[in-house]
Amino acid sequence: MLKDKLKKYKIILASGSPRRQQFFIDLGIDFEIKLKEVAEIYPENLQGIAITDYLAELKANSFTDELQENEIVITSDTIVWLENIALGKPNDYHDAFEMLTKMSGKTHEVITSVCFKTYLKSETINCTTKVTFNHLDENEIKYYLDAFKPFDKAGSYGIQEWIGLIGISKIEGSYTNVVGLPTDMVFNYLKKL
């Protein structure tokens, strides 16, 4: 369905995330992957959505001088927002353990921004989902980190993995956003092109 609508465009997904790449396949979007090294540093005064918007746009802007007329580059950034602190990907095992311990028994927000950039303009959309964790004991956290090694994930967890099955009591909003991309919003944006 979307494939026909996007025939005249070349879609570039600038993401190394296997979850985002699989979502694009599942949505039936023809795309190519192009990755650029971008230092994901943002001004300290930014909060919540402003952080992910900034980082998604920063990644897209690295393509500014090379986009052709029919190309759309899509970039994205996700953070976990807990008690006014942004949790990105953990630095190591200890960092991941600390993050999950802090989230235990609490509600946090998963915020994702997606930037669509052409040679003429760029537009950013975002999505926020509230996720509530049960109390996680130390052994559950250690088992999860040892077995699943979620060190490439914002907040140190994947909702689609074991911890999502045993540790999450409530979710308000988009499930796919927590996995890494608000697929319904991306689909609807591309459908309107």
Band the pLDDT of 193: cuts 50, 70, 90.
Answer: confident
Q: Are 108 and 128 in contact (CB under 8 A)?
A: no
Query: What is the Cα–Cα distance from 118 to 163, expressed in whole angstroms?
Result: 38
SS (H, E, C) 137-160: CHHHHHHHHHHHCCCCCHHHCCCC
Of the residues 30, 77, 137, 184, only one is catalytic, namely 77
Domain edges within the chain: 2-191
In the residue annotation, 77 being an active-site residue is answered as yes
pLDDT of residue 99: 98
pLDDT one-digit tens code per residue, 5-44: 898 999 999 999 999 999 999 999 999 999 999 999 999 9
Q: Which amino acid appears at position 22 of this protein?
A: Q
Q: Is the pLDDT of residue 158 over 90?
A: yes
Query: What is the Cα–Cα distance from 114 to 186, expressed in whole angstroms?
Result: 8
SS (H, E, C) the chain: CHHHHCCCCEEEECCCCHHHHHHHHHCCCCCEECCCCCCCCCCCCCCCHHHHHHHHHHHHHCCCCCCCCCEEEEEEEEEEEECCEEECCCCCHHHHHHHHHHHCCCEEEEEEEEEEECCCCEEEEEEEEEEEECCCCHHHHHHHHHHHCCCCCHHHCCCCCHHHHHHEEEEECCHHHHHCCCHHHHHHHHHCC
Which fold does the domain 2-191 belong to in CATH? Answer: Maf protein (3.90.950)
pLDDT one-digit tens code per residue, 70-98: 999 999 999 999 999 999 999 999 999 99
Band the pLDDT of 133: cuts 50, 70, 90.
Answer: very high
Q: Is the pLDDT of residue 63 over 90?
A: yes
- Report angle CA 96, 99, 102 to the nearest 5 degrees: 150
